[in-house]
Structure 1
Amino acid sequence: MARKALIYREIKRQKLEQKYYLIRRSLKKKIKKTRFLNKKWEICKKLQSLPRNSAPTRLHKRCFLTGRPRANYRDFGLSGHILREMVYMCLLPGTTRSSW
């Protein structure tokens, strides 16, 4: 189980990302449309003045149950070892155990 502080920090980042999403998107469109380098620099400064944690690249997917940050499967939102346990207990429909 991940520490609670790390999970809450990730939730805070998600909220910030949603808050600044439209602003960030509009600034990036302006950068692509402008031809003059000076104006691009001004827009880049505005983009850099936004909070660092509002960038979508700083988000990290976590396991829905345990909060584990690694080995997550997008389809289920679970980490690998939790997914394996649930498959073995037949809790996930449509999945099968591997047998060699």
Structure 2
Amino acid sequence: MARKSVIARERKRQRLVEKYADKRAELKAQGDYEALDKLPRNASPVRLHNRCKLTGRPKGYMRKFGISRVTFRELASNGKIPGITKASW
């Protein structure tokens, strides 16, 4: 499990991106890059990193489910994810 501070930092970045999304789009459309530079760094969506919603793990993230591969495997094995069955052939 990731440190709580890292998870909190990522949530804070997410909130900043949402807050400044409209303003960033407006400034980009105008081509006003000086004003764009004055916005907070963490307001840029490029600075976000996908993390597992349950554990905060940064690697092995599955976009479709929003969780890491390790958590996915545990939940799928326990039958907690509907429609997912273990492959057999």
Task: Give the TM-score taking structure 2 as reference length.
Answer: 0.92
| 1:36 match | none
Inter-partner Cα distance in structure 2 for 1:90 and 1:77: 17
| 1:85 match | 74
Question: Where do 1:1-100 residues align within 5 Å?
Answer: 1-31=1-31, 43-99=32-88
Structure whose CA Rg is larger: 1
Contiguous gaps of at least 5 residues in structure 2? none
Q: CA deviation at 1:60?
A: 1.1
Q: CA deviation at 1:72?
A: 1.1
Inter-partner Cα distance in structure 2 for 1:88 and 1:53: 37
**Is the partner of 1:20 in helix, strand or coil?**
helix
Inter-partner Cα distance in structure 2 for 1:87 and 1:7: 24
Root mean square deviation, CA, Å: 1.1
Contiguous gaps of at least 5 residues in structure 1? 32-42
**Is the partner of 1:29 in helix, strand or coil?**
helix
Instruction: Specify the code of the residue in structure 1 equivalent to 2:84.
Output: T
Q: CA deviation at 1:88?
A: 1.1
Number of corresponding residues: 89
